[in-house]
Structure 1
Amino acid sequence: MTAVERGAYLVTLGGCADCHTPGHFLGRPDATRHLGGSDVGFEIPSLGVFYGPNITPDDDTGIGSWSEAEIVTALQTGFRPDGRGLAPVMPWRAFAQLTPEDARAIAAYLKHVPAVKNKVPGPLGPGEQAPAFVMRIVPPTAPP
């Protein structure tokens, strides 16, 4: 199995398309824009709204300018090449447990998928108006 094939397997198993493919949360994943960014955001109280970004190798709207090493770093540390932290809903702590080979395989696959030109909204701060669907995380009104 090649690194790209292994990466495709791990991306599928990791559910990456769930948060990073348009239409997934609306029950109609758009296979023509696989991993091209979500059209539904997560609203986290006091933090804002986060849309799963385009993780295809498009230079303008995706991660095309990121090196494979930068992708691995983001997966395993939770920080983008520009130093900004990934959205709180990104399960990078789980991805940090990958072997170095598996993390590099995911990066190789993400550099290999067809580029999709799709700019997603955000991130948006608390109180900013979301331009697309949002899933709201609602804290309990009383401790359990």
Structure 2
Amino acid sequence: MRTSVIALALMLVGVPTSSHADVKRGGYLATIMDCGGCHTPGSMLGKPDMSRVVAGGDVGFQIPDAGIFFPPNLTPDDETGLGRWSTAEIVRAITKGVRPDGRMLAPIMPWHSYSRLTPQDAMSLALYLKSLKPISNKVPAITGPGEKPAGLYMTVISP
């Protein structure tokens, strides 16, 4: 028990101490949480590109009065993905909805639900994402209200 608490504390400050079991657990969580459902090119069109799993969605979500948000690349690519994020920063985004630069994630991201992950599960998910092959895939930029979108999108409408 003491070792796992120490390992978790080290991981939370960015010291890599992952094990195969942690990464495997993170892969399981990414699957059941359906990260690929939004973050894999083609998924929202019914034809997911399995060679670019979680490399960023190509269909955005329009939220009235907020803009259009495209699911970002979750692979550890330094330029277009999470490559420069620490595991602690990924955990914070998943569980608190806050990016490393302090901005909130798009409202469509279900971080409120993911905030209920145990610290160990959140870290396992982050370790899994960091373990993936980096894939360069730049998704369209956020489009503000009234701006022309750079890609396909769905509109979220409140009843």
Matched length: 140
Match of 1:136 in 2: 155
Q: TM-score, normalised by structure 1?
A: 0.94
Q: In the TM superposition, what are the counterparts of 1:34-73 in structure 2 within 5 Å?
A: 34-73=53-92
The separation in 1 between residues aligned to 2:141 and 2:68, in whole angstroms, is 7
Match of 2:33 in 1: 14
Q: Percent identity?
A: 52
Match of 1:90 in 2: 109
5+ residue gaps, structure 1: none
The separation in 1 between residues aligned to 2:114 and 2:157, in whole angstroms, is 26
Q: TM-score, normalised by structure 2?
A: 0.86
1:139 CA drift (Å): 3.6
1:41 CA drift (Å): 0.2
Bigger fraction of residues in helix: 2
Which SS does the other structure have where 2:139 is aligned? coil
Match of 1:114 in 2: 133
Match of 1:126 in 2: 145
5+ residue gaps, structure 2: 1-19
The separation in 1 between residues aligned to 2:35 and 2:116, in whole angstroms, is 16
1:114 CA drift (Å): 1.1
The separation in 2 between residues aligned to 1:49 and 1:27, in whole angstroms, is 20
